[in-house]
Amino acid sequence: MDKRPIGVFDSGLGGLSTVRAMKKILPNEDIVYFGDTGRVPYGSRSNETIETYAAQDIKFLETFSCKMIVAACGTVSTTAAHVLDKLSEPATGITKPSAKAAAMATTNNIIGVMGTSATVNSNAFEAEIHKTNPEAKVVSVACPLLVSLVENNWIDIDDEVANATVKRYIKPIIEAGADTIILGCTHFPILAPIIQKVAGGYVKLIDTGYEEAMYVKDVLRKNNLENESTHIGSRKYYVSDKTQNFCSVANILLGEDIESKCEFIDIFKYI
């Protein structure tokens, strides 16, 4: 039994796809979320910068004495995993749980990966998939504009720009014959209805938010860290820029009004 909160972070709104899944899978857990909205996107930056940002994000979350740190950011998970590995508390990113799910889900051994440029350049998903399924062919595509679509709330299933952008990005994955696609950036599960429509119903989408939340549940159980109280967990959201835009998209994604639970913080203080 451990009542301390779980710290979750991302460059912006994307990590809310993990929070959305955690609310269902781990309803009693308290969550502190940090979205680095003042410095999004991470995916076009150097590994060194991403590492520095991730270390600051974690420093901030550690002020809440979190029992676990969750990088709900594909870019941090794939390029700065060593920052997570060094922590004294349990920590995870999205790479392992999602790669394993994809490796097991594919029936034709062709897997697509949609991610940021940094994630695709890292080859981390490919390496992780091959640990479970060495035969799999992996086709990775960098889809940076999808991050901006989500940050700007262009996420409606009929949004013309979002549909056209997804179509253009996933063409090589579909042409390669992938039957499974990892949504390898946590912003992308938010666009899952569009991606599914464009890819076709037969393609299995791996929702990195869901897979990560299931993995967190497992880590808490194995380490005896679960919050066994019967109350619904509290959730607090922090951002590094103005709260309005974050809240208006978050309210839709999470299905609740988070305005009173969201605050600005100066991330530059955490070095």
Rule CB under 6 A: say whether 41 interacts with ligand DGL.
yes
- Of the candidate residues 37, 79, 95, 116, the single one contacting ligand DGL (CB under 6 A): 116
66 part of the active site: no
The least CB distance from residue 63 to ligand DGL, in Å, is: 22
> Which one of 11, 18, 37, 92 is in contact with ligand DGL (CB under 6 A)?
11
Q: Of 185, 224, 237, 206, give the one whose Cα is nearest residue 68.
A: 224
The answer to whether 247 is a known catalytic residue is no
First to last CA, the chain: 31
C-alpha to C-alpha distance for 92 and 77, rounded to whole angstroms:
8
> Strands 110-115, 68-71: parallel, antiparallel or unpaired by DSSP?
unpaired
Name the catalytic one among 66, 143, 185, 247: 185
> For residues 79 and 243, which CB has a smaller minimum distance to ligand DGL in the complex?
79
Name the one range near ligand DGL by CB under 6 A: 72-80, 97-105, 162-170, 233-241.
72-80
Asked if 97 contacts 68 with a C-beta cutoff of 8 angstroms, the reply is no
- Beta-bridged to residue 262, according to DSSP, are 237
Tell me whether residue 53 or residue 225 sits nearer to ligand DGL (CB atom). Answer: 53
Least separation, in Å, of the C-beta of 74 and ligand DGL?
Answer: 3
Contact between 41 and 144 under an 8 Å Cβ cutoff? The reply is yes
Q: Binding ligand DGL by CB under 6 A: which of 79, 106, 186, 227?
A: 186
Who contacts 63 (Cβ-Cβ below 8 Å, separation ≥6)? Answer: 270
Rounded Cα–Cα distance for residues 219 and 226 (Å): 9
- Name the amino acid, one letter, at 266: D
Annotated active-site residue in 66, 73, 143, 247: 73
- Pick between residue 118 and residue 225 the one whose CB is nearest to ligand DGL: 118
State in angstroms the smallest separation of the CB of 19 from ligand DGL. 12
**How many Å apart are CA 193 and CA 14, to the nearest integer?**
15
Catalytic residues: 73, 185
Residues that bind ligand DGL (CB under 6 A): 10-11, 14, 40-43, 73-75, 116, 119, 147, 185-187
